[in-house]
Amino acid sequence: MNTLHTIAQLRAALARARQDGKRIGLVPTMGNLHAGHVTLVNKARQRTDFVVVSIFVNPLQFGAGEDLESYPRTLEEDQRKVLDAGGDLVFAPNVKEIYPEGMGGHTRISVPVVSEGLCGASRPGHFEGVATVVCKLLNIVQPDLAVFGQKDYQQLAVIRKMAHDLCLPVLVMGEPTVRAEDGLALSSRNGYLSAEQRRTAPVLFEILQQVAKSVKDGERDYPVLIEAARQRLADSGLRADYLDLRDALTLNPVDADTRDMVILAAAYLGNTRLIDNLLFDLH
């Protein structure tokens, strides 16, 4: 697999691709690729002619006490998966390449409103780190299309707003969450779960489905519905970080006129933080 580690090398390769008239696709990742990532590469392959997969564990989006040092780094296996999925190039820079003067004085991008609450409340500074590194990658690669998974729904909303507000000439595409057969959303952090925890984990998505069904069936006392769902999480052994019902288009709280909805949740199973969401509508 053609793997480059510097911005200069990458830009030279991309210049050659553009000279050949190729449309560029980008799939930003932190590595430890799974079937969900492969789906994103496949989608980029369908829509563009030259697919770059970036692999960079971004320290700027990790808070104190989070799993930056223990986050899985599996570059050799990732390269094989990118090749099998039809990717053309892996961009795997080190921290010095992305933050040559360090992170302390580095320009940062803040995306207001949409980054607040939910994961933004639980992980202060996280979305600032995400927006900063994604903006850098979009400027480095200058793709026609960038593909992200919808499992990180708030993150996708942050990236879309950033690209729109900064007039970045890229189409940001979201792909539906890829799940295991039992419904658990695929995530690199699922590898932290013990065998017993892995058997319990699918209850998170089951509860989201129950909430969506209740709303579709006419339930409109949303606070009571959400509190009952949080209690079901606790009864199943998961500690809710948040569980909330939002407008799927704006991430504002739902009201009587909301028709496109998303139920979003994050919960701890042991020390592992799982996130998930479910889109539905009342049309």
The predicted model gives 166-192 an average pLDDT of: 95
CB atoms within 10 A of CB 81: 19
State the residue for tokens 């909430």: 211
pLDDT of 91 reads 98
The dihedrals phi and psi of 131, each to the nearest 5 degrees, come to: -60, -40
Q: Is pTM, for the whole model, over 0.85?
A: yes
Nearest-angstrom CA–CA distance, 40 and 110: 26
Judged by phi (left if over 0) then psi (alpha if -120 to 50, else beta), residue 183 lies in left
Q: State whether residue 234 is helix, strand or coil.
A: helix
Residues of the chain with pLDDT > 90, as a percent, come to: 92
The predicted model gives 242-253 an average pLDDT of: 94
What structural domains and CATH numbers belong to the chain? 3-175 (3.40.50.620), 188-276 (3.30.1300.10)
CB-count exposure of residue 3 (10 Å: 0-12, 13-18, 19+) = middle
Structure token pair of residue 61:
């989006």
Res 1 pLDDT > 80: no
Measured over the CA atoms of residue 29, residue 35, residue 39 and residue 44, the dihedral's sign is positive
Band of the pLDDT at 283, cuts 50, 70, 90?
confident
Nearest-angstrom CA–CA distance, 98 and 58: 9
Q: At what angle do helices 203-216 and 222-235 cross, to 10 degrees?
A: 160
The predicted model gives 73-78 an average pLDDT of: 94
Catalytic choice (37, 106, 126, 164): 37
pLDDT of 63 reads 86
Band of the pLDDT at 65, cuts 50, 70, 90?
confident
Q: Strands 3-4, 89-91: parallel, antiparallel or unpaired by DSSP? A: parallel
The predicted model gives 106-135 an average pLDDT of: 95
Cβ pair 245, 261 in contact under 8 A: yes
Band of the pLDDT at 64, cuts 50, 70, 90?
confident
pLDDT of 110 reads 97
CB atoms within 10 A of CB 75: 15
What distance separates the 2 farthest-apart alpha carbons in the chain?
Answer: 59
Cβ pair 174, 279 in contact under 8 A: no
Q: How many CA atoms lie within 13 A of 263 on its CB side?
A: 24
Band of the pLDDT at 148, cuts 50, 70, 90?
very high
The per-residue pLDDT for range 87-107, each reduced to its tens digit, is 999 999 999 999 999 999 999
The per-residue pLDDT for range 6-50, each reduced to its tens digit, is 999 999 999 999 999 999 999 999 999 999 999 999 999 999 999
Our answer to whether residue 37 is catalytic in this structure is yes
The predicted model gives 153-175 an average pLDDT of: 97
The per-residue pLDDT for range 215-244, each reduced to its tens digit, is 999 999 999 999 999 999 999 999 999 999
